[in-house]
């Protein structure tokens, strides 16, 4: 059982992800929108040469959007769902 969590708030809800699944926490970056995809996918982001999909957990859970002031304090939590092939992942 994990003993350390990366925690964050979405509205009034507190979430936690085991730290071994968190690659990093970064400030919001510019994103390229993707046409004709689910609203929960915000776009693509270039993370040091690696293109990753940005998923809006707030939209996935049908939570109300934050005010612009709250969005200024937002961060992106980069979660690794599986190891890259170079690290032995499938």
Domain with residue 55: its CATH number is 2.40.50.180
Q: Report the domain count for the chain.
A: 1
Question: What confidence score (pLDDT) does residue 74 get?
Answer: 72
- The pLDDT value recorded for residue 84 is 56
Cα separation, 62 vs 49, whole angstroms: 31
The whole model's pTM is what?
A: 0.69
Nearest one of 42, 24, 21, 23 to 32, comparing CA atoms:
42
Spans in the chain with pLDDT lower than 50 = 89-90
Which ranges of 1-90 does DSSP label H, i.e. alpha helix? 57-60, 68-72
85 within some domain: no
Cα-Cα-Cα-Cα dihedral sign, residues 10, 15, 21, 24 = positive
Q: Which letter does DSSP use for residue 37 in this model?
A: S
Which pair of structure tokens corresponds to residue 54?
Answer: 């940005």
């Amino acid at each position: 059982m994990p003993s350390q969590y990366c925690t964050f708030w979405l509205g009034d809800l507190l979430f936690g992800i085991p730290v071994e699944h968190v690659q990093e926490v970064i400030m919001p970056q510019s994103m390229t929108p993707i046409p004709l995809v689910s609203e929960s996918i915000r776009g693509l982001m270039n993370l040091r040469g690696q293109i990753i999909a940005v998923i809006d957990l707030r939209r996935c859970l049908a939570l109300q959007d934050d005010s612009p002031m709250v969005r200024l304090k937002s961060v992106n939590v980069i979660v690794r769902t599986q190891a890259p092939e170079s690290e032995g992942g499938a």
